[in-house]
Amino acid sequence: MTSTEPVGYAAQALAQLLPDGVLTTDPDVLLAHSTDHASSCSAGRPMALVRPRTTEQVAAVLRFASAEGIPVVPQGARSGLSGGANAVDGCVLLSTEKMTAILGIDVENQTATVEPGVLNAEFGRAVAEHGLYYPPDPASYEMATLGGNAATNAGGLCCVKYGVTADWIRGLEVVLADGRVLDTGRTTAKGVAGYDLTRLFVGSEGTLGVITKIVTALLPAAEAPRTAIAFFSDIAAACETVTEVMRGSARPSLLELVDSVSLDAIGRHRDYGFPPGTGALLILQSDDAAHADRVLARFERAAEGRGGDVLIAEGPEESRLFLAARRAVGTALEHEGTTLSEDTCVPRSRLRELVVGVQEISRRLDVTIACTGHAGDGNMHPTMVYDRTDTRQVTAVQQAFDEVMALGLALGGTISGEHGVGVLKRHWLERELGPVGLDVHRSVKAALDPGRILNPGKVLDHF
């Protein structure tokens, strides 16, 4: 398609390649699908939205787009926080939300094969019926899809013990930019033949191909976790507690930190019974029955030795309440104003420097910054809350964002532990990777997407 041809022509031509109902150009629908949850990131005007149900339909879209030079933006549930699923002008939005089949659960080999539109939480419940467990659990697990999790290499609350999405994917089916279908990986527990293409596509944010099937590894169902919570007047003491707990030989399955800004926000929407004036709290779980007593005892000693007050949950219901408070942070902050969320990850030994540094940036720039996250990993989510109609606040927030990014890198960390780069952090990628690393990224992109149609403007600042 040349620049002089009307957008309607391309949409009509594409619609003829697909079954009825797969493609829409309804302006209201397009607008609703143009962004993810990163409300501060810009978005363009899409040409059409397609919601294919099969790999063959995805391939047809990409063959057409590649031949015509039309950009394609892959989407899942659009629950991301970096603008990675945001539309660009004239693009086709390719949503996998209708590809929702769990194609098989292999109990004997502890694997499953699924389509990308399956919700994380629904998948977890499905495998639990077979006595199995899929560990990755991002905070948005009730709405996030497995395809989106794979595209961003999502993490979650249990990463401290079980790792991120990439650690649980054995293989993928991926449609490349030219419409060819690639199978990566294998179903076996081991396999090192050839390059690890599965890991290449996991976390590539739709810039190298569109994931249409996922083979996951599973575990036997975990024990019902035991939970403890500790209240601190000082967030630095909470960070020191994290470092002490993680020195132990038995690892918790969850160790989360919630700061006072987040506590105040969730308290305005629901009373969880937390003591007033709490400066920070830690939530710990252990799902290892053989070692849970030891893990909780170590947590109790470490917290109380640093002035913390510890409460051991009496049963599953109280445990669920503690976790509900943690999972409510994102929604509560969104009710406070526009949010801009980061997810810098630093070595655990530098966690205290990170959160204290974020507090200093917040005070100096007069910007509200919540700092909650996966403390056991050193992966925190500094989240700026502001009024986007206030020019002063917008300017100060952008400065705060850049300063937090710089602080994380200065502490030996990364600009993204699990949210991905998207639009939000692409300007920082070269600073983390260096010129050689960035050149290799561009070479991979050029090899797999020479027409530059897949999710343009995401991850790589320029190409």
Q: What is the CATH number of domain 102-220?
A: 3.30.465.10
Query: Any idea what the Cα angle at residue 30 is, between residues 26 and 35, rounded to 5°?
Result: 170
Determine the CATH number of domain 7-95: 3.30.43.10
324-343 pLDDT, tens digit each: 999 899 999 999 999 999 99
Q: Residue 5: is its pLDDT beyond 50?
A: no
pLDDT tens readout for residues 6-15:
468 899 999 9
| Model confidence pLDDT, tens digit, residues 308-322 | 999 999 888 888 888
Quick one: pLDDT at residue 249?
86
Domain spanning 226-410, CATH architecture: 3-Layer(aba) Sandwich (3.40)
Question: Which phi-psi region, left, alpha or beta, contains residue 289 (left: φ > 0; alpha: ψ -120 to 50)?
Answer: alpha
**pLDDT band with cut points at 50, 70 and 90 for residue 461:** low
Mean pLDDT of 162-187: 97
Mean pLDDT of 50-54: 98
- Per residue in 245-304, pLDDT (tens digit) is 999 888 999 999 999 999 999 999 888 889 988 999 999 999 998 999 999 999 999 999
- pLDDT at residue 463 greater than cutoff 80: no
Say yes or no to pLDDT of 2 above 80.
Answer: no
Residue 374 confidence (pLDDT)? 96
40 has a pLDDT exceeding 90? no
Question: What is the per-residue pLDDT across 376-396, written as a single tens digit (0 to 9) for each?
Answer: 999 999 999 999 999 999 999
What's residue 462's pLDDT? 61
What per-residue confidence (pLDDT) applies to 273?
A: 87
Residue-wise pLDDT tens digits, 111-144: 999 999 999 999 999 999 999 999 998 888 899 9
pLDDT in tens, 224-245: 899 999 999 999 999 999 999 9
